[in-house]
């Protein structure tokens, strides 16, 4: 992902953990290595000048997944193994926290923290929008929420796409009650679902699909709900439907007051992105920047 407009690129830093345990100790604790294995690894380290993990991989004593999980534990990064099928593998920040794309998401998180995020000024609700379908809004919103949660922020991910919601499938949470019920007065904040496997993360699914999503999202109830939720969470990220196809995204962004515009490389038309940014500006929505998604 390349960052454009008023978000400046900076290098992302390494996550600093709360513990300072060696990889060897963690891998022994997890039953992946024995003391004899450790000696073999240390010997190869001395001979080849490799890192501990590299030497262990070279000897075939652990897998890349074992190493990734151990690094996540060493640096206190929530990590989900890929053994089960409870949640979608699109949650790359959870399953592969040291992947290149996740580093780009952390860079985006850092820029948002520096250039926009300010809880004292009420800047902690962000709508993720894009002109058309298939541009990565759900993917980016989900993983951006994950990296904020990994930072220790109480993070809420709201699925406001009442046309084709997917967040409940990605996180494998029930969607019988959700945003639609909360906005129609049939549910309260108890519709928010905790996701402890992913750190300090909660999800508010879209819920049952209403016949009038645009009218539902345009009500004052959404603004009231967002104000109430800000009292409980440090960061609120909202997934939206395609803005070019539906006016839902404009209604959500207006209530959120802040929007990040997403475009997909070689897919999104520049004119569509420019039009969307201008429309947000005309309604008083603050566009914090644009992100070019390349995947």
Q: How far is CA 186 from CA 179, 256, 281, in A?
A: 10, 22, 33
Q: Residue 96 and residue 204: Cα distance in Å, rounded? A: 24
Mean pLDDT of 194-211: 94
SS3 of residue 164 by DSSP = coil
pLDDT digits (tens, 9 = 90+) for 106-162: 999 999 999 999 998 889 999 999 999 999 999 999 999 999 999 999 999 999 999
Which of residues 92 and 64 earns the better pLDDT score? 92
Q: How far is CA 286 from CA 63, 135, 140, in A?
A: 45, 21, 19
Question: Measuring CA to CA, which residue among 7, 250, 261, 258 is closest to residue 130?
Answer: 261
Name 221's Cβ contacts closer than 8 Å, sequence gap at least 6: 182, 183, 185
pLDDT digits (tens, 9 = 90+) for 233-280: 999 999 999 999 999 999 999 999 999 999 999 999 999 999 999 999
Mean pLDDT of 216-241: 95
User: Is the pLDDT at 228 greater than 80, yes or no?
Assistant: yes
Mean pLDDT comparison of 25-39, 91-105, 119-133, highest-scoring range: 119-133
């Amino acid at each position: 992902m390349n960052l454009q407009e008023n978000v400046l690129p900076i290098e992302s830093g390494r996550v600093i953990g709360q513990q300072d345990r060696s990889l060897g100790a963690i891998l022994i604790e997890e039953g992946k290595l024995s003391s004899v294995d450790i000696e073999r690894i240390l010997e190869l380290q001395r001979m080849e000048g490799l890192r501990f993990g590299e030497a262990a991989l070279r000897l075939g004593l652990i897998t890349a997944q074992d190493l990734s999980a151990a690094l996540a534990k060493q640096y206190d990064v929530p990590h989900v193994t890929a053994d089960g099928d409870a949640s979608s593998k699109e949650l790359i920040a959870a399953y592969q926290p040291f992947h290149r794309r996740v580093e780009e998401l952390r860079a985006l998180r850092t820029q948002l923290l520096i250039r926009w995020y300010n809880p004292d000024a009420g800047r902690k609700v962000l709508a993720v929008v894009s002109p058309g379908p298939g541009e990565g809004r759900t993917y980016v919103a989900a993983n951006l929420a994950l990296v904020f949660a990994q930072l220790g922020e109480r993070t809420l991910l709201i699925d406001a796409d009442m046309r084709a919601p997917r967040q409940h499938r990605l996180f494998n949470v029930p969607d019988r009650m959700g945003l639609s019920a909360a906005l129609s007065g049939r549910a309260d904040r108890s519709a928010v679902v905790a996701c402890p496997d992913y750190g300090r993360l909660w999800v508010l699914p879209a819920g049952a699909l209403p016949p009038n999503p645009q009218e539902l999202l345009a009500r004052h109830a959404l603004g009231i709900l967002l104000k109430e939720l800000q009292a409980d969470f440090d960061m609120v990220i909202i997934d939206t439907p395609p803005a070019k196809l539906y006016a839902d995204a404009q209604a959500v962004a207006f209530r959120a007051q802040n929007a990040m515009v997403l475009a997909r490389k070689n897919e999104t038309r520049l004119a569509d992105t420019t039009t969307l940014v201008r429309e947000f500006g005309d309604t008083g929505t603050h566009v914090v920047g644009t992100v070019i998604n390349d995947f």
